[in-house]
Amino acid sequence: MGGYFGRRSMVVRALQQRAVGLSWGQRALVIGALHPRLFVGTAQHTSHRTSPYTRLGLTARLMEAVFLGSREEADRALAFSAKRHETVRGTMAVDGGPAHPAGAPYDAADPALMWWTAAFSLDSVEFMYDALVGRLTGDQREDLFQGFVSWAELFGMPRSAAPTSYDDFRTAFDAWLHSDEPHLVEEARLIGRNIAGTSGYHLPLRPLSSPALRTVVQGSLPSVVREHYGITWSVLDEARWQAVARASRLAHGPVPVLARTPLLRGRSAEFYKVVQRSEKALLRRGGVSIPGVSDVPSPYG
């Protein structure tokens, strides 16, 4: 049985590219942490405080299940997510800046917050496809946008909560990113910097410890986001990022045999499972995934 999204839809084509499937989540998490209500609301209710990479992997796998799986698989993922979100409501326990002060309410069922969740994912999938696979056309961007709107609707978001078109989305998203509203609470700063590789990756898994991953994640961030996190970025860093991106686009180019290489295409869930197992092994040995976060009591009580 087919899934909710056709195999020729842009969102399916994008997420089937492993360069996208294995990188969009880190970028989306780092940028999305600038939205205090989304970040704090999740952090105050997470069951994965000591295992942030497991949470990241689970989120990516659930997203793949809905976009790339059969309807039966997608429905299981949707039901699992809905149950987890039932209790995600409350008030901000920390100050998130003028737009999100301490005591401000949040609710996982808030249509505006539901769209922001989709928006951060859409932005990162689009960017990673452009950078690592090939430039999207205007029609493809609109198709990708509509796919994410449909995805959010499956989670219960009313259509009216989303922009009316890709162009409207891009204008609003970029305006928000460069406004005074983005704000990092201290935990978001620590997690975001670690996911971006500023202090090295602590999981005993070579791909996650490589300079290449740091280059991809940090290089993909808008300069304004790096400024929020205090991430330095040199001319040499930019040259490395551009070299990695060019090499990836070349590998995804019009060479028929290479373009069909199984390593380049397919679902990324198994890769995320390896990361999750690596993190669990680290924790069993008494290690820490993100120092300063997963090794200290929650500030939210």
The per-residue pLDDT for range 286-295, each reduced to its tens digit, is: 888 888 777 7
- HSE (side-chain half, CA atoms, 13 Å) at 55: 17
The more confident residue out of 197 and 165 is 165
Degrees, nearest 5: CA angle 77-78-79: 90
Cα–Cα–Cα angle for 70, 274, 207, nearest 5°? 120
Query: From CA 27, how far away is CA 60, in angstroms rounded?
Result: 12
Tokens 């005591």, located at residue:
103
Secondary structure element (H or E) that encloses residue 40, with its range: helix 36-43
List pLDDT tens digits, range 86-139.
Answer: 888 999 999 999 999 999 999 999 999 999 999 999 999 999 999 999 999 999
pLDDT band at 275 (very low <50, low <70, confident <90, very high): confident
Closest by CA position to 224, among listed 37, 34, 96: 34
Q: Please determine, for residue 227, whether its predicted confidence score (pLDDT) is greater than 60.
A: yes
Choice between 25 and 276, residue whose per-residue pLDDT is larger: 25
Q: How confident is the model at residue 257 (pLDDT cuts 50, 70, 90)?
A: very low
State how far the Cα of 207 lies from the Cα of 216, in Å rounded to an integer.
Answer: 12
Q: Integer distance in angstroms from the first to the last C-alpha of the chain?
A: 45
Strand, helix or coil for residue 52: helix
**Taking the model in full, what pTM does it have?**
0.92
For 142-153, what is each residue's pLDDT tens digit? 999 999 999 999
Task: For CA atoms 71, 80, 263, 141, give the dihedral sign.
Answer: positive
DSSP reduced 3-state for 134: coil
Give dist(CA 80, CA 154) in Å, integer: 13
